[in-house]
Amino acid sequence: MLLVFDIGNSRTKIGLFHRAQLLSVVSFDTMSTNYVSDCKEALRLLATQDKTAWKNLSGIAIASVVPSHTKKIEIVCKAQLKKKPLVISARLKTGLTISYAHPLKLGSDRLCNAVAAYHRYKQAVIVVDWGTATKFDVVDRKGAYLGGAIAPGLGASAQLLAERTAQLPRIQLEFPPTVIGKDTVQCLQSGILYGIIEMTRGMLSRIKKEIKQKPMVVATGGFSSLLSDHISNIDAVEPHLVLEGVTIIYKRNRHHH
């Protein structure tokens, strides 16, 4: 039994795994002012959902892109669960060869996405992670992590426009009835959503040309269910890829932990 944290910029997800199987997952707002108590509440929820699994917890692992929160979670885990978590980074055995200029600067979410996708499909993969940022990560067929790309994500784009303009409202991120918007809200929905889809489509074709291999394209991240149907060249949608990657890396390093 493994307890796994994915601390992203917008959401923190906690998953409970039995071997490679995700039993349950809860999430809460990373930006919350009561982050620690929200975390304790989420852990309580997981514990009540699966009492037997909770008693047999063998380890804890964290992938985080918010360093200040990593420390908070470590303290909570030590206090409440009497276990020291393994914090994921490129220092650990990942099963991939990391061809990145500064491996330790590679976000642990991107590392976990790449590890999980390659582990699952055993071929060249491109992972598209639609979250606060839109991230592309590329692994070749031999298991070398080649790098990728980072662009503003759906949430970031919508927020930026609402904050930086006098007259543009905050909007619901849903597809408008037509690409040509008939009012300001529809125009924003069209530009932001179809814009990110065209950007993703274009980036995928550029990346494919560059690696000269036929990769599998795997989508993940908070917006993957909203966007993936609109892009025909997405081969699979795996919403909890980061959590899966954390478990795989944990298993490869548990003897050193």
Domain with residue 26: its CATH number is 3.30.420.40
Confidence of residue 203 (pLDDT cuts 50, 70, 90): very high
Q: What proportion of the chain, given as a percentage, has pLDDT over 90?
A: 86
Among candidate residues 6, 29, 109, 235, the one labeled active-site is 109
- For residue 190, the number of C-alpha atoms closer than 13 Å in the C-beta half-sphere is 12
78, part of any domain: yes
Instruction: Note the pLDDT of residue 53.
Output: 74
Q: What proportion of the chain, given as a percentage, has pLDDT over 70?
A: 99
Dist CA 40 CA 232 (whole Å): 40
Instruction: Note the pLDDT of residue 49.
Output: 85
Asked which of 27, 55, 87 is the last residue of a domain, the reply is: 87
The per-residue pLDDT of the chain, averaged, comes to: 94
Please tell me the total count of domains within the chain: 2
Range of the domain at 22: 2-87
- Asked if residue 64 has pLDDT above 80, the reply is yes
Active site residue 235: no
Do both 146 and 181 map to the same domain? yes
6, part of any domain: yes
Do both 225 and 177 map to the same domain? yes
Asked which of 31, 55, 87 is the last residue of a domain, the reply is: 87
Instruction: Note the pLDDT of residue 102.
Output: 93
Do both 158 and 46 map to the same domain? no
250, part of any domain: no
Using alpha carbons, select from 5, 167, 142, 148 the residue that is nearest to residue 86.
5
Asked which of 87, 113, 139 is the last residue of a domain, the reply is: 87
Instruction: Note the pLDDT of residue 256.
Output: 66
220 and 202 Cβ atoms separated by less than 8 Å? no
Other C-beta atoms lying within 10 Å of the C-beta of residue 159: 14
12, part of any domain: yes
Q: What is the mean pLDDT of residues 177-190?
A: 95
Do both 106 and 76 map to the same domain? no
36, part of any domain: yes
- Asked if residue 172 has pLDDT above 90, the reply is no
221, part of any domain: yes
Label each residue of 67-117 as H, E or C: HHHHHHHHHHHHHHHCCCCEECCCCCCCCCEECCCCHHHCCHHHHHHHHHH
108-145 pLDDT, tens digit per residue, is 999 999 999 999 999 999 999 999 899 999 999 999 99
Do both 124 and 236 map to the same domain? yes
251, part of any domain: no
Instruction: Note the pLDDT of residue 50.
Output: 76
Do both 39 and 107 map to the same domain? no
